[in-house]
């Protein structure tokens, strides 16, 4: 019986620009270390504030990758 097995790992990424940029930064960085990434799920979003203004955007990502045979 053929099949695949995947693993999910959680990472946190931060950007000074936006949530979208934080996601991109996280996925690009994970791709340099982890092979066979098939998707990512944004588990949580957070902003950092200073004097009422957003100074950083942070995401917790669950990254899915298929294990090698």
* pLDDT of 1 over the 60 cut: no
Tell whether 50 is covered by a domain: yes
What is the average per-residue pLDDT within 38-58?
A: 97
| CA nearest to 33, candidates 65, 69, 1 | 65
In CATH, what number is assigned to the domain containing residue 50? 3.30.1660.10
The answer to the question of residue 58 being in a domain is: yes
Cross-sheet strand order for the sheet of 6-15: 6-15, 53-66, 37-50
The number of domains in the chain is 1
Residue 1 lies in a domain: no
Domain holding 16, by residue range, is 6-66
Over residues 6-42, the pLDDT tens digits come to: 999 999 999 999 999 999 999 999 999 999 999 999 9
* pLDDT band at residue 2 using 50, 70 and 90 as cut-offs: confident
- The CA-based angle 54-28-8, given to 5 degrees, is 95
């Amino acid at each position: 019986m053929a099949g695949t097995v995947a693993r999910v790992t959680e990472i946190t990424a931060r950007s000074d620009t936006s949530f979208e940029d934080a996601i991109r930064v996280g996925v690009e960085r994970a791709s340099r270390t982890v092979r066979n990434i098939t998707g990512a799920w944004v588990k949580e979003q957070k902003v950092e504030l200073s004097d009422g203004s957003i100074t950083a955007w942070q995401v917790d990502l669950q990254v899915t990758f298929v294990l090698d045979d």
